[in-house]
Amino acid sequence: AQSVAQPEDQVNVAEGNPLTVKCTYSVSGNPYLFWYVQYPNRGLQFLLKYITGDNLVKGSYGFEAEFNKSQTSFHLKKPSALVSDSALYFCAVRDTGSGAGSYQLTFGKGTKLSVIP
């Protein structure tokens, strides 16, 4: 079965500092990996994805993530955090080895990011 782990429930970072939100995954086949952000009382918004190709993917709002197959990780990063980045961040994985027609999209428990002015 596929799974996603976000080891930190909360990450605090000072405004202007780099931020990292960690994610590791487990799948049987090749993964499709996603990051989503959720602001209070809102739905999940897509940030970026890794399907294939370059291990470093860039997404919305200056975020990027690096796919590391050997460490089965897909950490979210941003060089300089903004107060407006404060939100709940979810990592998700889809196992491409789960069969035709299957779209098992599994989410981590989420990491609350607080950017301190």
Applying CB under 8 A, which residues contact other proteins?
34, 36, 42-46, 49, 51, 90, 101-110
For other proteins, which is the closer residue by CB, 13 or 47? 47
How, if at all, do strands 24-26 and 105-107 pair?
Answer: unpaired
Residue closest to 108 by CA, chosen among 23, 19, 32, 12? 23
For other proteins, which is the closer residue by CB, 31 or 108? 108
Residue closest to 115 by CA, chosen among 35, 17, 4, 5? 17
To other proteins, the closest distance from the beta carbon of 87 in angstroms equals: 14
To other proteins, the closest distance from the beta carbon of 80 in angstroms equals: 25
Residue closest to 74 by CA, chosen among 84, 61, 87, 59? 59
To other proteins, the closest distance from the beta carbon of 8 in angstroms equals: 14
For other proteins, which is the closer residue by CB, 41 or 70? 41
